[in-house]
């Protein structure tokens, strides 16, 4: 089985992935209109994070995450730049 990661924004799951880069790309769905990730991440309640589970089944079974990764504006920006063709 492979790890499962879920990305969160303002306490809501916004996407997932099998690795960190894939999970970070989920933030494209909440990209600020002005592209200012620093300001967006600093908004009250934004608290971008990724929770890592041992597998998708562990996630479905509501197991606690193995770790929680705090996500920075630069992490999001770098991941989204890599996503561009």
Q: Where are the domains of the chain?
A: 1-17+44-85
The whole model's pTM is what? 0.90
Q: Average pLDDT in the 21-49 region?
A: 96
Q: Which of 29, 66, 70, 26 lies closest to 47 in space, CA to CA?
A: 70
CB atoms within 10 A of CB 22: 15
Q: What is the pLDDT confidence band of residue 36, given thresholds at 50, 70 and 90?
A: very high
Phi, psi of 36 (to 5 degrees): -90, 90
């Amino acid at each position: 089985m492979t790890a499962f990661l879920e990305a969160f924004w303002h306490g809501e799951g916004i996407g997932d992935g099998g690795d960190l880069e894939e999970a970070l790309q989920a933030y494209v769905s909440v990209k600020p209109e002005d592209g200012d990730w620093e300001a967006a991440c600093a908004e009250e309640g934004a608290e971008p994070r990724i929770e890592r589970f041992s597998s998708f089944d562990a996630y479905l079974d509501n197991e606690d995450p193995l770790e929680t990764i705090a996500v920075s504006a630069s992490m999001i920006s770098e991941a989204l730049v890599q996503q561009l063709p």
